[in-house]
A and B are shown apart, each in its own frame.
Chain A
Amino acid sequence: MATQVRPEHEFDVQDLMINMGPQHPATHGVFRMVLVVDGEVVRDVVPYIGYMHRGGEKLSETMDYRQGIGFMDRTEYLAQFNAELSYVMAVEALSELQVPDRAQWIRMILCELNRLSSHFMFTGAFGTDVGVFGTAFTYSFRERETVQDLFEEITGDRLMYAYFRPGGLAWEVPDNFVQRVREVLKSVRQGIKDMDGLLTDNEVFRARTVGIGAISAEDAIDWGCTGPVLRSAGVPLDLRRTEPYLKYDEVEFDVITGTTGDVFERYTCRIAEMWESIRIIEQCLERLEPGPIMPERMPRMLRTPPGEVYMRTEAPRGEFGIYLVSKGGNRPHRLKIRSSCFANLQALRDMTIGSYVADAVVILGSLDIVLCEVDR
């Protein structure tokens, strides 16, 4: 692949190929990329994915609609509720299930909390990438832990929640749910302020991120980027606003956009989104009322009529889509997971070519990839 345009040199020089990964702490999972460098400058990048491919789409076709929920947690293991939501909403859209209001509000609260915990993971890992080693991670994980604790109280599991069901929720939340969410939010607010103070105006952090890995809005759209990567380039595409699902049309929040689409703005977009998530959760808590969490009449075995649906939701990393084709029966005929990181990662080559080797790691980190979701 070393056929890129070479600059004119006095001597005959050879591009050096550096293999990075698949076992590398800065690749956030099992990801390999071959960097073709000329001195310090990256001339070409060849990403290799697929190390985590588990054939999840094929597996989902052998599982019924209830079993498939668990697989979604394993696909997107940092935004499990968001992934489950896409799946259950796809099943609901096909089988025309009406979800009770209370279940929808609780789903919204959990999805936004999940966005917070996922973005904390990002700030921690990204801080480590740019050189604020350890400190960013511990501060982030202190707050992430409070959110994780809440999830554990509700679902009984710290990672694989499997809490959403087609039609509603698996069981009622604990009695002190509202109070606990408020406690968590209080702690999270402090956490965002801490991260903001630690990183945003940090001189080293700015020097490593401002103006690095920029992508234009046209390129980002053409590569299919979504989420903070696209919004930081100035495109206000947020599915919560453009195609509202759940109750997102009844709450107030701002769609955060940037202008330059560089690494720094991808970070600031995420920080600003965290404040918006808190705003959304607070409005949800106001509107939360007692009521049923499942439809009154649910079949014992869920079967969908023949048909197909492409259900998409705004996950922390962008659009998470489930393309579900049913031919009747209790399991999908075809289930395609549209992963947000998969498309964002495609744009990596464009972003990295021409930057320094040291920045390649920062650019990769700014995409906030989850390799389990990329490879499925």
Chain B
Amino acid sequence: MTTDDGAQQGSESGAAASAALDGTIWPEVDRALAGVTASAEPSVLDVIVSIPRDEIVRGLRALKQDPSLQFNYLRSLTCVDNEEEGMDVVYHLYSISNGYNLTVKAHLPADDLNLDSATGVWRAANWYEREAAEMFGVRFRGHPDPRTLLMPEDMTDTFPLRKDHPLAEIEVLQGEALAFPSGAGGGEEE
């Protein structure tokens, strides 16, 4: 693949990480992100760039508009729930003219899940952000159409893809709504 960084993944020490970033597109990206605080770490296929959440849209727009990078194609946008460590919003970018790949991450603390919407940068972010919002409870500020996408229209208070969400939640919800006899099982006493 285009940006192969070897097997240095997971190493947090600065020297090893910067050595693993040699030969990647990180210097280019770093230059394009002038004025944005960004850090990079290598991964299996693509370089991962972390941008603070206040600067995320500025950073993404810079990556898209930089003439030598041109990340004009948003492959995917999603969230990763790390429970008490907060949530990561992950953008996978691709440059059709150059063939570059990049992963961009914005970290959100668990108690404040607000992020600026990227719909102004790529229209493709529209549905991805709607999905991330209803599944993880991230609020994308400035989203033009903040309705639910896959979930029912009124299901705006539960976030099914979060780690603390039970897998078989329907039983939990229906159990409350239908007011089953208290205690597990309900029918065991008979």
A residues in contact (CB < 8 Å) with B: 49-50, 53, 55, 57-59, 62, 93-94, 96, 221-224, 235, 237, 242-243, 245, 305-312, 319, 321, 323, 325, 333-334, 336, 338, 342-343, 346, 375-376
User: Which chain A positions have C-beta within 8 A of B174?
Assistant: none
Give the docked Cα–Cα distance between A136 and B167 (Å).
43
- Which residues on A sit within 8 Å (CB–CB) of B123? 222-223, 346
Asked if B60 is an interface residue, CB under 8 A from chain A, the answer is: no
Whole-angstrom distance between the Cβ of B41 and the nearest chain A Cβ: 10
User: What is the minimal beta-carbon distance from A34 to any residue of chain B, in angstroms?
Assistant: 13
Q: Could you pull out 10 A-B pairs where Cβ atoms are within 8 angstroms? A: A50-B152, A221-B96, A224-B122, A243-B1, A306-B9, A307-B44, A308-B48, A338-B75, A338-B76, A346-B123
B150 touches A306 (CB 8 A): no
A57-B161, A222-B122 in contact; A62/B75 too (CB < 8 A)? no
Instruction: Take A323-B90, A325-B80 as given contacts and tell me if A309 and B167 are in contact as well, using a CB distance cutoff of 8 Å.
Output: no
Taking CB atoms and an 8 Å cut-off, the chain B residues in 22-51 that contact chain A are 43-46, 48
Cβ-defined contact, B161 with A50, below 8 A = no
B44 contact from A93, A222, A321, Cβ within 8 A: A93
Chain A interface mostly: mixed
Q: Are B45 and A309 in contact (CB under 8 A)?
A: yes
A325 neighbours in B (Cβ, 8 Å)? 80
Q: Are A96 and B150 in contact (CB under 8 A)?
A: no
Q: Using a CB–CB distance below 8 Å, which chain B residues touch chain A?
A: 1-2, 7, 9-10, 43-46, 48, 72-76, 78, 80-81, 90, 92, 96, 99, 101, 103, 122-124, 126-127, 148-152, 160-161, 165, 167
The residues of A that contact B148 with a CB separation of less than 8 Å are 50
Nearest residue (CB) in A for B76 is: A338
A338: nearest chain-B partner, CB-CB: B76
Q: A93-B45, A308-B43, A333-B80 are in contact. Are A50 and B151 (CB under 8 A)?
A: yes
CA distance A93 to B44 in the complex (A): 7
Bound-state CA distance A62–B160 (Å) is: 14
Which one, A50, A307, A346, contacts B9 given CB within 8 A? A307
What CA separation (Å) do A170 and B76 show in the bound complex? 30
- The distance in angstroms between the C-alpha atoms of A233 and B178, with both chains bound, is 53
Additional pairs, 16, CB under 8 Å, beyond known A57-B161, A243-B1: A49-B150, A53-B150, A55-B160, A221-B73, A222-B72, A235-B96, A305-B9, A307-B43, A308-B43, A310-B75, A310-B103, A323-B90, A334-B78, A338-B76, A342-B127, A376-B150
In the complex, the answer to whether A323 meets B167 with C-beta atoms within 8 Å is no
In the assembled complex, the Cα of A130 lies from the Cα of B45 at a distance in Å of 42
B99: chain A residues within 8 A (beta carbon): 242-243
Contact, CB under 8 Å: B90 / A96: no
CB atoms of A310 and B150 under 8 A apart: no
Assuming A224-B124, A311-B45, A333-B80, is B9 touching A59 (CB within 8 A)? no
Contact B45 A310 (CB under 8 A): yes
The A/B interface has a contact count, at CB < 8 Å, of 94
Instruction: State in angstroms the CA–CA spacing of A312 and B44 once bound together.
Output: 13
Given the interface pairs A93-B45, A224-B122, the reply to whether A305 lies near B76 with Cβ below 8 Å is no
Task: Contact check, B126 vs A346: say whether CB atoms are below 8 A apart.
Answer: yes
Task: Give A342 to B78 CA distance when docked, in angstroms.
Answer: 13
Taking a contact as CB atoms closer than 8 A, the residue among B72, B78, B96 that contacts A336 in the complex is B78
Q: How far is the CA of A59 from the CA of B90 in the complex (A)?
A: 20
Q: Give 8 nearest A-B pairs by CB, closest first.
A: A224-B124, A50-B150, A338-B76, A336-B78, A53-B150, A309-B44, A334-B80, A307-B9
On whether the beta carbons of A306 and B10 are closer than 8 Å, the reply is yes
Nearest chain B CB to A52 CB, angstrom units: 9
CB of B69 to closest CB in A, whole Å = 15
**Chain B residues positioned under 8 Å from A308 (CB to CB):** 43-44, 48, 103
Instruction: Name which residue of chain A comes closest to B124, CB basis.
Output: A224
Taking a contact as CB atoms closer than 8 A, the residue among A62, A93, A94, A338 that contacts B167 in the complex is A62
- Give the residue of B45, B103, B124, B151 whose beta carbon is less than 8 angstroms from that of A343: B124
**A321 x B43 contact (CB < 8 A):** no
For the complex, what is the distance from the CA of A334 to the CA of B81, rounded to whole Å?
8
Alpha-carbon distance between A334 and B162 when the two chains are bound, in angstroms: 10
